[in-house]
Structure 1
Amino acid sequence: MSDSWPRRRLLAILRGASEPLDAQELARITGQHVTTVRFHLDVLTKESLVRQFQQPPRGRGRPRIGYSAVQRSVGYQELAQVLADQLGNDPRRRSDAAITAGRAWGAKLDAGDHPVDSLEDAREVTMTLLSELGFAPERDPEAAEPEDQVLIRMTACPLRDLARTHSEVVCGVHLGLIQEVLDRNGGRDTVSARLLPFVEPELCVARLELLARREATPVAVGAESPAPEPVLAPPSAGRMPPQLRNGDPNVAKQSAQQW
């Protein structure tokens, strides 16, 4: 839109209106001549900032033309980009901050009331959450999963483009969200959650694991404790868990070696 105060004022009035307004009403509100108002409305219409609607006439005569502002979509992708850039340059700190933010988000969500007493309960809660948020989760029916582990394929992501350059932030938020919702439903001492970004170009994986698996591993007295496995794995092209189906045997073989 050109830098025109009359047009900006008309647009502001239409954005605040609860119903479409015609040129006569706008002329009365602004004090401008109706012909001038119609000129500005034509410009705003051509720039796709307002939309025309046919309204019933007042008394006898032709139908009136009403105008309504086109609601601007919020640039969530751009907003997320700005927020991600504010978390500093240290990837670990960025990831930790993102997970904390995701937990804060999860604490505010209505996550339902499905007690997590088993791995299957955790899967149901996580699948429901991811479905509601637009991740199109799937559990591969042909995947050979251990009894103490579940893999959930996240086939969509509302912020996938940003995740390609800021995975520790975007995926960290999503991981924190999953962890918080599981904890709120009683899964804190039952399951742990990890997120594996971009195991395929358009696929991320959430991995749920029974905590008993780690508790059952003895550590010799005096031996160094193994380093904890990161809950947010670094993205790596082709880093597909061997349990997941992969149509390319070479890729599957290479992924299994890396895993």
Structure 2
Amino acid sequence: MGTAIFMVLMVCGYWYTTRDVSSRFKLKRTFGWDVYFVVALYGCIFVLQGVLVIAIVYLLLWGFSGLMNHIPGLLSDELQLQRDFIMWSFLGIQAPVVIMLAVSVLLCLFCTSWSRSRNLDPAGRKSLYQQLTRSNGVEGLLYQCMDQGDLVFVTLRSRRVYIGMVHTLRCESGSTDNVVLIPMVSGFRDPETQKMQVEHNYASYYQKHGITPASEPISALYFRKVIMLNQIETLSLFDPATAMAFEALAEREREEEAEGGGMKSMFP
């Protein structure tokens, strides 16, 4: 009997944590033995709900039996429905235990499959993703770019660099988490100076050929890049106007340094 209870507890916990969006996010961020405790925690919730149902049925039978026994001349023997319910067995197992496990499984299936609260509309799913990605810097920034249409500056471990728009973001399964990027500019970082060297200007190509996200027969999605999240080294928002202002400021500082060096050489 103990083995059956433990098995149902773990199965219900695993079923719920792998199908509920919020719980799946929490499970993905859990490692080692903590995974088993998270699964067991959710399983205990369903098993305890099954125990609560059995307790309610027992109290109802106890109350009904007491009421019937207090009516004079109605019954010849004392009615003990609650005792019969507890002693009732099914295939060698006490029937209340079987009912408790069945209720736990049904509640788990209801919460993951049939409950309307699990079928989130786009607005509800958007709100949930915003809340869940708030604790992760990479996912939070990518979701912000996807939601607001901002450009993102991505540097990969291979030193490849992409500047583009986030089309979709998947951060639920762990090892296959990825971001789909519509590139505007791509290149690489110089190994010595770490400055970005532009290799492809997609934005200019889009403008020249009239390519948009909805154009036919070729759209901007044709050039999309799928990047694994575990390959991202640095990530930041990108604003073209700010980037040009910084570049102009750096160029002016270099010119001033060069002029200052020339003056010093003329007047030692």
Scaled by the length of structure 1, the TM-score of the pair is 0.29
Choose between structure 1 and 2: higher helix proportion. 2
Q: Which has the larger radius of gyration?
A: 2
